[in-house]
Amino acid sequence: MDDFIKIALNRNSLKALTKEFYIDELEKFSNNLSIIIDQRKEQKEKLEEEARNKIKKIENIKSLLDEQGLSINDLLNYPVVNQIKPRKPKVKLLPKYRLIDLEGNTHEWTGRGLPPKIFKDHFSRGHSKESCLIVKNISI
């Protein structure tokens, strides 16, 4: 790409490169370059127009803010925008079931989720959940 640019921008290099071209080929090359130049100019004008429109819109918004006595920082730092919803504190559930194993260790379970292994073993021996129920935590 750099070599092409050097050749295209240097008249003598371009002349040497195109010395074997016929006139109609040079005219076609010239027409193609003209079309590309026109397209680039239109594209540049379009981008400049979009930039001007954007600047006008920004100026309109700034003037509206000035009329209301506000600044951009007022919008950015407005409490509702930056407000984080407070999380509810997690409430630890009280155990609903309790078992004491042969070694005297106490095992408790809230009754939610899968039961711990010791409770599964207890239930598999034919005992019911009600046999492990902690009565004082039940509200009627």
What's the pLDDT tens digit per position in 76-100? 776 664 566 778 888 888 999 999 8
Q: Could you tell me if 17 and 62 lie in one domain?
A: yes
**Average of per-residue pLDDT across 52-66:** 93
> Could you tell me if residue 73 is inside a domain?
no
pLDDT in tens, 95-107: 999 998 889 999 9
Q: Within a domain: residue 75?
A: no
Measured between alpha carbons, how far is 37 from 39 in angstroms, rounded to an integer? 5
Cα-Cα-Cα-Cα dihedral sign, residues 130, 134, 137, 140: positive
Task: Residue count of the chain, please give it.
Answer: 140
Average pLDDT for the chain: 87
Among 68, 89, 106, residue at a domain's last position: 68
pLDDT, position 8: 84
The boundaries of the domain holding residue 133 are 97-137
User: Do both 55 and 103 map to the same domain?
Assistant: no
Whole-model pTM: value is 0.44
Can you tell me the distance from the alpha carbon of 97 to that of 119, in angstroms, rounded to the nearest whole number?
9
Give a yes or no: residue 128 inside a domain: yes
State the pLDDT confidence band at 39, using cuts at 50, 70 and 90.
very high
